[in-house]
Chain A
Amino acid sequence: MSKNIQEVFNLIREGNKNAFLELNINLRIFMNLNPKIGEITRIYNHYHINDYTREEINSQIILIIIENILASNKLDEMKNWTELKWYSKRITKNLIDEYFRKKTREGKIFESIDSYEFNDDGEMISKQFEGGVNVDVIDYELEYAKLFKEVSRLMSPKCRDLFELVIKGISSDEVLEVLNNLGHTVRDKKNLASTKEKCKKKLIKEVRVHNNYSEWEDIFKMS
């Protein structure tokens, strides 16, 4: 018997790992490497996305959905797994667009795919997301900007400047140059890599010393 998707979402909000696995499995089925099963894989094939990038995008899709379950009401009207499939395909398309935009910025490709749309078979069409799915258009860049703003408050000035440069997708040489111009001492690429790691570790530590983390972690472990 099919499980009620809102019940699954509610259990995830309570920190239920089994419910999260149920969601994860359903999403992974959409991402199955066999394009006959994995509808998201068909999208990747259409856009010639490499294996490494697919896996990166797959994780981002699941995390975006989790974010929206935990911290918004965007998915409250979702009725079934078919709607979730459409929603995840829509996220996929936006993330692929973002990937190509980033590559374009890096000068690695010379064409824009902004106007492309596609159907289940990977054929280009237009307006295929219209109809039947009562889910708002997701505004990733805005959402991530908000997330970044919140997170950046927890960072030291050096780490904040470093992450701001990194997410712009510029080269390591440019990051080094700008950081040094800003008065931060970062000697070379090796030192840059270790600085990034230190910043990440400090950020995770900073987030976790916050008030309710232990309480939530206990709930999470017990559920």
Chain B
Amino acid sequence: MEKYNKDNISKLLLFKELLEKQTEFIDKHELDQFSNEEEFNHFISNENNLPLDEHGFIDYKKIEEDEEI
């Protein structure tokens, strides 16, 4: 696979845009404040109102859609 073909560059540009939006989201919700993975996972599972998806990830897409409404 050629690493830097145009498809990959296109994807990288989209992720770059998303990175900026998500970094603001992380700052806003102080999601970078955990000392270890266990503490983060505990927060995600028990101590907040952030929606989760089927994989147990914070459902950023849902949040984004809710914000659009």
Residue numbers of A with Cβ under 8 A of B are 1-3, 7, 11, 15, 17-22, 24-26, 28-29, 31-32, 34, 36-38, 59, 62-63, 66-67, 70-72, 81, 143, 146-147, 149-151, 204, 207-208, 210-213, 216-217, 220, 223
B side interface size, CB within 8 A? 39
Asked if B14 CB lies within 8 Å of chain A CBs, one says: yes
Tell me the total A-B contact number using a CB cutoff of 8 A. 131
Closest 5 CB pairs of A and B: A28-B32, A18-B57, A71-B8, A150-B4, A21-B60
Main secondary structure of the interface of A (DSSP, over half): helix
Instruction: Name the residue of chain B whose CB is nearest to the CB of A145.
Output: B4
Instruction: Mark interface residues in B33-69 (1 if CB within 8 Å of A CB, else 0).
Output: 1110110110000000000010111111100100000
Given contacts A1-B56, A24-B26, A150-B5, contact A216 B61 (CB under 8 A): no
A146 and B4 in contact, given A25-B26, A208-B10 (Cβ under 8 angstroms): yes
Closest beta carbon of chain B to A91's beta carbon, Å? 15
Residue of B nearest to A67 (CB): B12
